[in-house]
Structure 1
Amino acid sequence: MGSSNIEICNGSGLDCCKEYKRLKILPANDQIKELQTILRDKNTTRSDFKFYADRLIRLVIEESLNQLPFTECNVVTPTSATYHGLKYKSGNCGVSIVRSGEAMEQGLRDCCRSIRIGKILVESDADTHEARVVYARFPEDIAQRHVLLMYPIMSTGNTVSKAVNVLKEHGVKEECIILSNLFCTPQAVHTVLDSYPKMKILTSEIHPVAPNHFGQKYFGTD
């Protein structure tokens, strides 16, 4: 693959991921770095963790929505002027990977009031760590939709790979899948995009160490 214009954020220096044209990273700024720092800090209370996680989720969701296709449209303003604008092409939906992906559902609903959301449950074998899909529920016409696949922490990429495979089995085109993610390791990027090079990954950070405590802390089960 050729080089791309992605931005490796937060000084991670992970140039090995620059080859992926369909890897998108939130532009680095101090606000995002602060949110990431709070979420990684072991001393952050659960209340603060959830508050700042929701802030970062909202930023990721907003940018993920920007990756969806738009079409031109004209509207008439209250002063009877014609405004040349944009609107989403029809056929978008969200799919969360249970359970941590459910943390991102409200952020998507806050941005898209009536969007439909499906779910996938992927479990890993305790001994072999092999991932397997045990439950999937999607809109009946998901094959005609663009899908925002929501999964906040991606360490190995195995869970997301299984989820993408199920979406493809249900007729979703690979290029119509956008992974909305908060924290991702280089290994996960390689695992997912080497197998599914036409999908997109939108994340806030690529770092060798993922905050795997996210789900437990967010839902208060730690």
Structure 2
Amino acid sequence: MNESTAPAVHVIDHPIVRSRLSLLRQESTDSLHFRQALHDIAKLMVYQMTSDLETEVIAIETPLCPTEGHRLKRPLTLVPILRAGVGLMNGIAEILSEAAVGYIGLYRDEETLEPQCYYSKFPPNLAESDVILVDPMLATGNSSAEGASQLKAAGATRIKFAALIAAPEGIETFHRQHPDIPIYTAHIDEGLNENAYIVPGLGDAGDRYFGTV
């Protein structure tokens, strides 16, 4: 696969992102400060994730005279994978306040170990939208890949994937199934341990965000 067609992985490398990510990793960080740090990173990720969105020219009136303005050409849709994806999505939505929100609920089949969808709800204009799939921990990649498959089955064609932390194994699995979807992440960690947790990671993002540790 040549460079022009290789699946894209964008690491959001920024001093504030690195600082907030260290706070998220710290075991002693409480839920309040965990949420704040996660939202901070999410807002900084938005800048790069949306840099190629198309706009169209519109006529506007300033207090002084008519002029040209711009608006996004297509609607936006955010789709977190429940429940951990909600935290990262909330931070993204603070910037993309006009975005519609869909949801995907997945669980792991204990016999096949494959993700199964128990809930999905999408806006009716998904096929016309720029869609951001959100799951903070790209570990094995199975759930995230299934989430992307659910979106495509519902008609989405312009999809990006946002993950707080990614493991190389998860990136490989995700892009093996969805080479057309770019990944945006704050950091690529070392890999997975024997329990399929990202190392060094930050623990269970959902439990820490919602205070259910």
TM-aligned CA deviation for residue 44 of structure 1: 1.6
2:181: which partner in 1? 199
Q: Distance in 2 between matches of 1:195 and 1:202?
A: 17
How many Å apart are 1:101 and its aligned residue?
A: 0.8
2:154 pairs, out of 163, 170, 176, with: 170
How many residues align? The count is: 204
CA apart distance, 1:185: 0.9
Give the aligned residue type for 1:168.
Answer: K
- Between stretches 56-65 and 73-82, larger displacement belongs to 73-82
C-alpha separation between the residues in 1 aligned to 2:55 and 2:38?
A: 28
Alpha-carbon distance, 1:34 to partner: 1.2
The letter of the residue matching 1:29 is H
Q: Which amino acid aligns with 2:154?
A: H
Code of the residue aligned with 1:55 in structure 2: it is: D
Q: Distance in 2 between matches of 1:64 and 1:93?
A: 13
Which sections of structure 2, spanning at least 5 residues, go unmatched? 191-198
Change (3 A) 1:127 1:105: same
Distance 1:39 1:124 in 2: 26
CA shift, 1:61, in A, is 2.9
Q: Percent identity?
A: 25
Pairing of 1:54-203 with structure 2 (within 5 A)? 54-80=39-65, 82-83=67-68, 85-126=69-110, 128-173=112-157, 176-203=158-185
| Alignment check: 8 A CA contact 2:142 2:173 kept | yes
Q: Which amino acid in the other structure matches residue 204 of structure 1? A: A
Q: CA RMSD in A?
A: 2.1
Question: SS at 1:54's partner residue?
Answer: helix
C-alpha spacing 1:126/1:212, structure 2 compared with 1 (3 Å) = farther
Counterpart mapping for 1:47-58 below 5 A: 47-58=32-43
| TM-score relative to the length of structure 1 | 0.83
Q: What is the deviation of 1:24?
A: 1.6
Paired position in structure 2 for 1:221: 212
Kindly provide the CA deviation profile for residues 123-156 of structure 1, in whole angstroms up to 9, marking residues without a partner as x: 1124543111111001122122221111111101
Q: Which amino acid aligns with 2:187?
A: E
Structure 1 unpaired stretches of 5+: 5-18
Aligned residue number for residue 30 of structure 2: 45
Confirm or deny: 8 A CA contact 1:61 1:180 kept in the other structure.
no
Secondary structure of the structure 2 residue equivalent to 1:181: strand
CA distance in 1, matches of 2:23, 2:87: 17
Distance 1:79 1:58 in 2: 32
